[in-house]
């Protein structure tokens, strides 16, 4: 008999067997008798990494050997989607299993946003904890901290942080690298806090005497903005928002990947003897792109390419740690991104001019922010050698909204009534045993346009916003005051077929009305 609670007997009575036992969703190796340990789960969540940005997805001018290896040992998905085309709503949906557009206040968050997921909400981390996992979040957070926007005291323990959301441990950036405060938060406190340099943060006004990118461009020795990003200067780079102090706690952009990777690896080795869940959300390849010197000049695309190489390095370190601890076989890694790519996102890093034929969105139309597929079509690679025995490709239509319930199905966690209302258990899709498309998936653009994909059809609801982003990058929003209907089998979204197929448009509009109300997992 197995006594260690890490082990779980897949008998017909176990919750895992129950969730596996649903016909097509049963993983191949479940014969109803095998004893298997709960897998570790690592979610590697890149920032603004496009469908076309990895070598194994056809990237040009950049090598990503570690991610290539991951893909060659697992499943590479070619039709998977984030829930939104920007970070905060996408992460909110991923971690709560609720569409962000149901909740006001889930747009791209400033660095002083109060914690957007409230302590009483159920999260993916709560789910893993309830199944006995050790849990951690390392890297980019961007979902607010503390009780109320703008009222945090960054010099004291924060009254609300990730410990209230089911994470046993966290080492995070409050928002993004281009937003103050430019410090790491470890377990609700500024890491390496420097009492000689108390921290003040404001998104309203500067602190007297502090330089800004706008007034002191001569101090921007590392990167200059191309649009916005002209407020406080930290490490020779101007940011969004104002901050003062920080001293030795301030990050150096060139060390961010090293810092978070080291903390992620430490967490893995510290929990090698029990099941763990690690949410590893990288800063790469978000702006400001300022990777460590050792990644510079490795390809022709300049800093954006170097940031992809640095991301690949982080992935390699995680894989090497698993290898050396003997954890590779029974660790499920899901690698993905929070939204589609962007080239010039506000810093003068020459990303646009150095593309050299590289297409960050791959074949899809549109980029980050957009309602077109490029806004949410992202890379997804799933590796779990214990269960996924053959490398494969999957073109199944998949959305990150389902990962919470699917992983709950995997570990036998029971989702409380009313929690994760939009997340469906589609574990078989993730593990490659169920190749049936989700009947439909919802997208959400930065202009708040909802879209629906079903099979090869894509519907974008009418939106009065501008067809191009008006405040910075030259990006199509996908907005149109007319309903849009595309056949995306060629991935182009060029020809609006709405007037030719009015009944299809009607069908989508009806479905969208139902989804807006609620559309829980029909099998839950």
Taking CB under 6 A as the binding criterion, the range among 15-23, 225-233, 326-334, 409-417 that sits at the site for ligand NG6 is 225-233
339-358 binders of Ca ion (CB under 5 A) = 339
Q: For residue 338, state whether it binds Ca ion (rule: CB under 5 A).
A: yes
Q: Are 313 and 266 in contact (CB under 8 A)?
A: no
Identify the H or E element spanning 317.
helix 302-325
Burial class, 444, CB count within 10 angstroms (exposed 0-12 / middle 13-18 / buried 19+): buried
Q: Give the CA dihedral 197, 198, 203, 208, nearest 10 degrees.
A: -70
- x/- mask, Ca ion, residues 256-295, rule CB under 5 A, reads ----------------------------------------
Q: For residue 228, state whether it binds ligand NG6 (rule: CB under 6 A).
A: yes
List the one residue from 25, 47, 168, 476 that touches Ca ion (CB under 5 A).
47
Nearer to ligand NG6, 240 or 485 (CB): 240
Q: For residue 240, state whether it binds ligand NG6 (rule: CB under 6 A).
A: yes
Q: For residue 142, state whether it binds ligand NG6 (rule: CB under 6 A).
A: yes
Q: For residue 106, state whether it binds Ca ion (rule: CB under 5 A).
A: no
- Nearest CA to 264 among 199, 320, 208, 197? 320
List the one residue from 9, 21, 56, 108 that touches ligand NG6 (CB under 6 A).
108
In our burial notation (b when 16+ CB lie closer than 10 A, e otherwise), range 192-204 reads ebbeeeebbbbbe
Tell me the closest approach of the beta carbon of residue 114 to Ca ion, in angstroms.
Answer: 20
Give CA–CA dist 520/517, Å, rounded: 10
β-strand pairing of 242-244 with 237-238: unpaired
- Nearest CA to 330 among 7, 2, 5? 7
Nearer to ligand NG6, 278 or 285 (CB): 285
Residue nearest to ligand NG6 (CB): 228
Taking CB under 6 A as the binding criterion, the range among 67-75, 222-230, 384-392, 455-463 that sits at the site for ligand NG6 is 222-230
468-487 binders of ligand NG6 (CB under 6 A) = 472
Q: Are 405 and 425 in contact (CB under 8 A)?
A: yes
Structure tokens at 25: 């969703």
Nearer to ligand NG6, 108 or 189 (CB): 108
Give CA–CA dist 369/162, Å, rounded: 27
Q: For residue 345, state whether it binds ligand NG6 (rule: CB under 6 A).
A: yes
Nearer to ligand NG6, 142 or 317 (CB): 142
Strand partners, 328: none
Q: For residue 86, state whether it binds ligand NG6 (rule: CB under 6 A).
A: yes
Please choose which of ligand NG6, Ca ion, none residue 107 contacts, taking the beta carbon within 5 to 8 angstroms, the exact cut-off set by kind.
none
- Nearest CA to 46 among 329, 371, 263, 283? 283
Q: For residue 374, state whether it binds ligand NG6 (rule: CB under 6 A).
A: no
Tell me the closest approach of the beta carbon of residue 411 to ligand NG6, in angstroms.
Answer: 29
Structure tokens at 127: 């789910």
Name the residues that contact Ca ion, by CB under 5 A.
47-48, 87, 338-339
């Amino acid at each position: 008999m197995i006594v260690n609670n890490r082990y779980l007997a897949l008998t017909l009575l176990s919750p895992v067997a129950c969730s596996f036992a649903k016909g097509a969703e049963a993983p191949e190796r479940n014969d109803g008798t095998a004893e298997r340990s709960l897998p570790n789960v690592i979610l590697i969540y890149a920032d603004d990494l496009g469908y076309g940005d990895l070598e194994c997805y056809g990237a040009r001018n950049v090598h990503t050997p570690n991610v290539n290896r991951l893909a060659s040992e697992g499943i590479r998905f070619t039709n998977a989607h984030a829930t939104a085309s920007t970070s905060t709503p996408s992460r909110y949906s991923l971690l709560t299993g609720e569409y962000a557009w149901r909740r006001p206040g889930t747009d791209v968050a400033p660095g002083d946003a109060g914690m957007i997921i409230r302590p009483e909400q159920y999260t993916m981390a709560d789910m893993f904890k309830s199944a006995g996992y050790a849990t951690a979040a390392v890297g980019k957070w961007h979902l607010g901290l503390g009780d109320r926007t703008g009222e945090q005291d960054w010099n004291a323990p924060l009254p609300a942080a990730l410990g209230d959301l089911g994470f046993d441990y966290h080492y995070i950036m409050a928002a993004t690298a281009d937003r103050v405060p430019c410090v790491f938060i470890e377990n609700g406190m500024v890491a390496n806090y420097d009492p000689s340099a108390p921290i003040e943060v404001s998104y309203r006004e500067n602190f007297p005497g502090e330089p800004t990118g706008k007034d002191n461009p001569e101090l921007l020795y590392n990167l200059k903005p191309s649009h916005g990003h002209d407020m406080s200067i930290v490490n020779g780079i101007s940011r969004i928002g104002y901050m003062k102090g920080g001293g030795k706690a301030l990050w150096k952009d060139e060390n961010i990947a090293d810092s978070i990777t080291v903390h992620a690896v430490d967490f893995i080795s510290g929990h090698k003897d029990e099941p763990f869940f690690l949410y590893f959300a990288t800063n790469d390849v978000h702006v400001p792109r300022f990777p460590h010197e050792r990644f510079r000049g490795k390809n022709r695309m300049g800093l954006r390419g170097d940031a992809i190489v640095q991301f690949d390095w982080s992935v390699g370190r995680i894989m090497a740690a698993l290898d050396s601890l003997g954890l590779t076989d029974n660790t499920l890694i899901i690698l993905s991104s929070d939204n589609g790519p962007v080239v010039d996102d506000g810093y003068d890093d020459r990303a646009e001019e150095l593309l050299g034929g590289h297409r960050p969105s791959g074949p899809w139309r549109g980029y980050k922010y957009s309602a077109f597929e490029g806004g949410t079509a992202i890379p997804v690679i799933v590796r779990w050698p214990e269960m996924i025995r053959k490398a494969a490709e999957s073109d199944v239509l998949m959305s990150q909204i389902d990962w919470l319930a699917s992983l709950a199905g995997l570990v036998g966690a029971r989702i409380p009534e009313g929690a994760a209302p939009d997340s469906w258990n589609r574990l078989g899709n993730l593990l490659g045993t169920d190749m049936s498309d989700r009947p439909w998936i919802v997208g959400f653009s930065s202009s708040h346009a909802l879209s629906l994909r079903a099979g090869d059809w894509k519907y974008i609801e009418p939106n009065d916003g501008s067809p191009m982003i008006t405040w910075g990058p030259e990006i199509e929003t996908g907005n149109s005051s007319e309903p849009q209907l595309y056949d995306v089998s060629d991935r182009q979204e060029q020809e609006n077929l709405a007037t030719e197929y009015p009944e299809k448009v009607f069908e989508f509009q009806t479905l969208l009305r139902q989804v807006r109300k609620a559309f829980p997992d029909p099998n839950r």
